[in-house]
Amino acid sequence: MPGAVGAADGRQRASAAFSLSCLSLVFSVTAFSSSYWCEGTRKVAKPFCKGQSKGERCIRFNSPEANSSNAVQYIWETGDDKFIDRKFHAGIWYSCEEIINGEGEKCRSFISLTQAADRGVLWLSIVAELLYIILLVTGVILMSVEMCYCSTVIDGLKLNAFSALLTVLAGLLGMVAHMMYTTVFQMTVNLGPEDWRPHTWDYGWSYSLAWTSFACCMAAAITTINKYTKTILEFKHKRQVLERSIRIECKFP
């Protein structure tokens, strides 16, 4: 009966670790491919109103004959009224800004916006993110093989140890990658091109998703290591009980 309870508990721990690893993988791939790691606004000058366009997003003239070159045209906007906040969002791969008085967004490579001195750190961050995802995929595969195809406990322990090691390494790589990107983005905010520097900014949902992926990865690693340790302790306990019973049988045949 205790053996059956231990086996059921081991299956539950394996299922929990597998689920957490899958969540971590989905979150990391989503965050890596998105461009909402950071969001904010840029203060840019309003364009002149063209044609029939009106509103607060362009500079209007007071003359009804605005299209006439002979008409004297006055601009009433002064100070902050001449500027407008343009929303933007940036990720590892590209940065996008909304088009004023139009639909859609204008995107450009985030790598081209970084300083030459910081570009190497950004590439290291990208490589670390890719390795993070690859190790997560490998760990998920090993966990699924352990759950579905392992016939002996020893083979299961070997796969469990490998998956625990890979998951821990993946978590460390993910943490380093996220921290390196954070450093690069802050440096780009301070030293990047004048036509990109944000007026206000904050971290977006992709950034939160990336750190949630790291938390799930470490939780899966802890669960896997815990399962491995508990299985080893159960083996040692069974071995001690067996040795004790053999010694008793030898004393009293």
pTM of the model: 0.77
The CATH number of the domain holding residue 182 is: 1.20.140
Please indicate, yes or no, if residue 67 is contained in any of the structural domains.
no
Please indicate, yes or no, if residue 135 is contained in any of the structural domains.
yes
Please indicate, yes or no, if residue 90 is contained in any of the structural domains.
no
Position 74 scores a pLDDT of 43
| Cα→Cα distances 237→192, 233, 243, Å | 62, 6, 10
Position 235 scores a pLDDT of 62
Please indicate, yes or no, if residue 131 is contained in any of the structural domains.
yes
Domain that holds residue 180: 10-35+115-234
Position 1 scores a pLDDT of 44
Q: Residues in the chain with pLDDT < 70?
A: 1-10, 44-83, 101-102, 150-153, 233-253
Please indicate, yes or no, if residue 229 is contained in any of the structural domains.
yes
The half-sphere exposure of 121 on its side-chain side, counting CA atoms within 13 A, is 17
Please indicate, yes or no, if residue 94 is contained in any of the structural domains.
no
Position 43 scores a pLDDT of 74
Please indicate, yes or no, if residue 68 is contained in any of the structural domains.
no
Position 144 scores a pLDDT of 86
* Of 34, 155, 150, residue with least CA distance to 96: 34
Token pair for 98: 């909304």
Query: Tell me: the pLDDT tens digits for 37-95?
Result: 999 888 766 665 665 555 555 656 555 554 554 444 444 455 555 667 788 889 999 88
The total domain count for the chain is 1
Please indicate, yes or no, if residue 153 is contained in any of the structural domains.
yes
